[in-house]
Structure 1
Amino acid sequence: MLILFIKLILAHLIGDFLFQPEKWVKHKNKHKHTSKYLYLHILVHVVALMVVLLFDTRYWLGFLIIIISHYLIDLLKLHLRTKKNNRWLFAVDQLAHLIVIALVVNIYEPYFSKLLDYNFNKILLLLACLIAVTTMASIVMKTIISKWKIEDKDDKEDSLEDAGAYIGMLERVFVFLFIILGFWEGVGFLLAAKSIFRFGDLSRAKDRKLTEYVLIGTLLSFGLAMVIGLLYSNVIGLI
């Protein structure tokens, strides 16, 4: 199962990233289904799949499913694409291709039933922890530190929209992953890296308020991620 999955992923990476120049992407976005590069792109996927599967005719059904679905997904993406949804559409497009690949692998080496039988509860636990470490933790932190209002108008004008929230979520996800993998050194490295990046902001502070505010937020963020990571590590053994 794993070998087939790796082969199909490799073919996808070759077709969608390695051999798809920016010129092709721009032409497809402009001309959509009339773009010659859309069909060249599909041809690249055809060749890549044939090569990684070593021209094995046993996989003819999966081959057809992947190629046809890839064309339809790309075509749909081209017609739905706008400047506003471009990033999200890219993510959905890639997710759709991965789901098709997973379904094709399941045709030849069924694993969905086993996955549901043995790991469904573990998947639910992981999803619950990821939601807790991102959305829930953000709300908890916002509630706790809302008693202090620190505003830096000069920095606010240069700040990316919602950048702080995304940075906080990403750092907690990294801490969570480091802990469940037993890589505690990574937590220390991440904390040190964040301290270095925030040094410029803190050195420009006129008083201690901004420094204390940042430290409280950082300790809360890391603390919540560590607690959730430890809970996951202890509960997963009971399932």
Structure 2
Amino acid sequence: MIFLPLILAHLIGDFVLQPQSWVADKETKKLKSKYLYFHIIIHLVLNLIFLWNFDFWWIACVVAFSHFIIDACKLSFQTSSTKKNWFFIDQLLHFVVIIGLSFLIEKPDFTSYFTTGNFKMLAAVVFLTTPASIFIKILLSSWSPIPQDENSVQTESLTDAGKYIGILERLMVFTFIAVNHWEGVGFMVAAKSVFRFSDLAQAKQRKLTEYVLIGTLLSFGFAVFAGILIK
């Protein structure tokens, strides 16, 4: 099993043993930064330590070399406006290399994953993301959450924040049900009630309160229904 040791080495090397000062120096000096090469050496050493098998020395070297190529490309092409995108691309490519090497060495049997239960679980998870958001949006389209007096409540919010909050809460509720911890669902309801209370109290709008309540019940209802179906 080399996947977990390589993942652990990557997480420690990329996040625990890489100070922010190194990151800043690499972004400024790019390939001329000495910390880029220190960073690669640390990854090489960590991979050798966690694999703890000299027969796999070449795997540690491949991971370290690919890490250098990926980091070099990121440093060369990223800009201030694309920095976030390059961070995720960088991490994705590192994980692809690790997964590819793991498959090459261990040759896993994928047929065991193609079961009815797994497909039901995957379908439920996918449904609780964007599809459920669209269903809820359509069901609530007959009403408007905008209060009569727009000055009575803060209407600004993060872009698509409500959508992603809904997706996360549905997935968390679904997870609690899947692992038979229904008390977690109660915790989620209580937590959301606390965070929403101040906004609704400030709004003093029954219309907004009812709109939020219906949306919350629909969101939780979809998650509970999906959780029951996969049991």
Instruction: Give the equivalent residue in structure 2 for 1:21.
Output: 19
Structure 1 residues 173-196: Cα deviation after superposition (integer angstroms, max 9, x where no partner): 111222222221111111110100
- Counterparts of 2:75 and 2:88, CA distance in 1: 13
- Which of 150, 157, 172 aligns to 2:145? It is 150
Query: In the alignment, is residue 72 of structure 1 matched against residue 66 of structure 2?
Result: no
Percent identity between the aligned chains?
47
With over 3 angstroms needed to count, the CA separation of the structure-2 counterparts of 1:65 and 1:126, relative to structure 1, is farther
- Counterparts of 2:97 and 2:121, CA distance in 1: 23
Gaps of 5+ in 1: 235-239
Instruction: Give the equivalent residue in structure 2 for 1:104.
Output: 101
Structure 1 residues 190-223: Cα deviation after superposition (integer angstroms, max 9, x where no partner): 1110100001011112231111111101000111
Instruction: Give the equivalent residue in structure 2 for 1:119.
Output: 113
Instruction: Give the equivalent residue in structure 2 for 1:42.
Output: 40
- Counterparts of 1:84 and 1:181, CA distance in 2: 41
Instruction: Give the equivalent residue in structure 1 for 2:128.
Output: 133
- Counterparts of 2:175 and 2:83, CA distance in 1: 29
Instruction: Give the equivalent residue in structure 1 for 2:166.
Output: 168
Instruction: Give the equivalent residue in structure 2 for 1:200.
Output: 198
SS state of the match for residue 204, structure 1?
helix
Amino acid at match of 1:200: S
- Which of 57, 62, 82 aligns to 1:85? It is 82
Contact map agreement 2:44 2:63 (CA 8 A) in 1: no
- Counterparts of 2:121 and 2:71, CA distance in 1: 31
Give the CA deviation at 1:90.
2.0
How many pairs were matched up?
226
Higher helix share: 1
SS state of the match for residue 183, structure 1?
coil
Gaps of 5+ in 2: none
